Chain A
Amino acid sequence: MIAQCSNFSVTGERTEDGTKLAAGVRSPLRDAGVIGMVFGWMFRRFLHVAIGAGLPSCVQVAEVEVDTLLGRTRVLNVHSGIAVGKIVAPALARNQACGAVIQGVGYALYEGREIDLGTGDVLSAGMEDYRIPGIADTPLIDVHFDEEGFDHVLGGSVGIGEVATVPTAAAIANAIRNAVGVRPFEIPARPDRMLRLLNEGQRA
């Protein structure tokens, strides 16, 4: 649509993300014959995933303290292992990973889209009511980049994105389970929810 506007000229088109492999590297699916081609097409068509392009991944360990009296959870440490290939800009990558962890802490403990059930009106529509972590809620964050395994990808790495946000809430919930024996299945794990879980845990 944009290309048809008279004010714009198209100088090049971007191909599908991540389809370009390093020189001499063939997609494993392409070598699998017709079935591989069918699967490759299905992955691209329906999942928007190009097989063999290298997917970012992250593993985390979280340490928490849970105040069983007032239901507050404090995250002390988050250790992150991140695999996105060769790190091109180490300071930026670390910064991005730390930001993602803090975002994950907010997702796990504070951020709630509160609505009015009758009207659908969003009530937590500002920074006062939609709570994100402050500096005192931020854990010590330890980031390790595992740079191996992306040699087949053009440039030797893929984008880091917010991959470090993906496991944070689950790691925190697991840490809560490990600390106090109850597992939150709802986030944010607010004090009222934690107290309810702890009471149910006691009765059980």
Chain B
Amino acid sequence: MNDLIRTPDLAGVSWDSGGAALIGSLTTIEEIATDIKLEAAYPGLAAAASGLATPQIRRMATLGGNLAQRSRCWYYRDPYSHCFKNNGSTCPARSGNHLYGVAFDLGPCVAPHPSTMAAALLAYEARVVTDRRDLSIDQLLSDAYGGATDNGLESGEMITRVTLPPPMVGERALYRRAISRAYAEWPLVEVVARAVLVNGSFQFVRLSAGGVAPAPLRLTSAEAAASGSAATGATIALAAERSISNAKPLPMTVYKLELLKAIVQDLLERLSG
């Protein structure tokens, strides 16, 4: 275990000459949520940061910590249970109570990835730089599909910063999170949507969903359904329907598909309006 002393080069946001942001891994979630320049360039990222956890946690939690956090599965955190992530060879949630489990059952573990920031950074095609490598969000988190871990960091490896490509011209972005309380809950489903509209048509659409799969998921079928089409109710309804096209819900998580469709529909409608 390393004691990460806050150092200037790991905290804070800097910008390169091309308008791309570099966010240090020790930057707090609150700093990301309230940075005016970040919010202007990457509104989906700032909104996602504002939506997670509580004010106290946002003030203390860091971007690196959020990306590398462990599963919130109640079996994984139960001292008397064993699972793929905890010296076991089964997933007790799969046969047991998986009320908050995945709706895209793509691995042996049925816990969704807990990182909201990862879902937002996936939509922005960010790169995660560690002290050893430079990874995409998919590369960082794809090991979660194996079930034994939540990320692909090696022992002792540390995320140092996250880099985002410059925003596209005219792009807008929104974030929405389905939870039962007003705040302070792990998302049932969350979506970051980015879009560029030209003459009433979706020229570019990026949709990334959290809370539904072992790692944050790009909704590529929904993106394809909307991209290049007129931003009409029919297009948006088709994209919402396609957002669940590869879903494999568990018995207790069918409701998440409805939430996912509803959020995609809502975000695309608001982006087109």
What is the interface of chain A, defined by CB distance below 8 A to chain B? 69-72, 74, 109-110, 114-119, 121, 123-125, 128-129, 131, 133-134, 136-137, 188, 190-192, 195-196, 199
Contact = CB atoms under 8 A, between A and B. Distances in A.
Interface in B156-184: 178-184
Chain B, interface residues (CB within 8 Å), range: 20 to 34
B153 interface: no
A74 B183 CA distance: 12
A116 B92 contact: yes
B184 A195 contact: no
Given A116-B96, A128-B72, A195-B259, A121 B78 contact: yes
B74 A129 contact: yes
25 contacts: A70-B178, A70-B262, A71-B180, A72-B180, A114-B74, A114-B97, A114-B99, A115-B97, A116-B75, A116-B97, A123-B74, A125-B74, A131-B180, A131-B181, A134-B54, A134-B182, A136-B181, A137-B181, A137-B182, A190-B180, A191-B180, A191-B188, A191-B259, A195-B255, A199-B258
B114 to A, nearest CB: 11
Contacts of B181: 109-110, 131, 133-134, 136-137
A122 to B, nearest CB: 9
B182 A121 contact: no
B97 A134 contact: no
B143 interface: no
A118 B95 contact: yes
A136 B182 contact: yes
Nearest to A198: B258
A128 B72 CA distance: 9
From B180, B182, B262, name the one whose CB has the most chain A CB atoms within 10 angstroms: B180
A173 to B, nearest CB: 15
Interface majority SS on A: helix, strand, loop or mixed? loop
Given A71-B180, A72-B180, A192-B255, 7 more contacts: A69-B262, A110-B181, A118-B96, A121-B81, A134-B181, A134-B183, A191-B188
A123 B78 contact: yes
A195 B74 contact: no
B26 to A, nearest CB: 24
A125 B80 CA distance: 13
Contacts of A74: 182
B46 to A, nearest CB: 20
B185 interface: yes
A54 to B, nearest CB: 37
Contacts of A136: 181-183
B125 interface: no
B183 to A, nearest CB: 5
Given A134-B184, A136-B182, A123 B263 contact: no
Interface string B73-104: 01100101100000000001001110100000
B139 to A, nearest CB: 29
Contacts of A134: 54, 181-184
Contacts of B262: 69-70
Closest 3 CB pairs of A and B: A136-B182, A192-B255, A123-B74
A117 B97 contact: yes
B266 interface: yes
B81 A191 contact: no
Interface string B246-271: 00000000010011001100100000
B78 A191 contact: no
A198 B263 CA distance: 17
Nearest to A118: B96
Contacts of A71: 178, 180, 255, 259
B182 A195 contact: no
B174 to A, nearest CB: 14
A70 B255 contact: no
A40 B97 CA distance: 48
A196 to B, nearest CB: 7
Contact of A131 (B78, B97, B185, B263): B185
A191 B181 CA distance: 10
Nearest to B176: A70
Contacts of B99: 114, 192
B190 to A, nearest CB: 11
Interface string B99-111: 1000000000000
A125 to B, nearest CB: 8
B97 A109 contact: no
B101 to A, nearest CB: 12
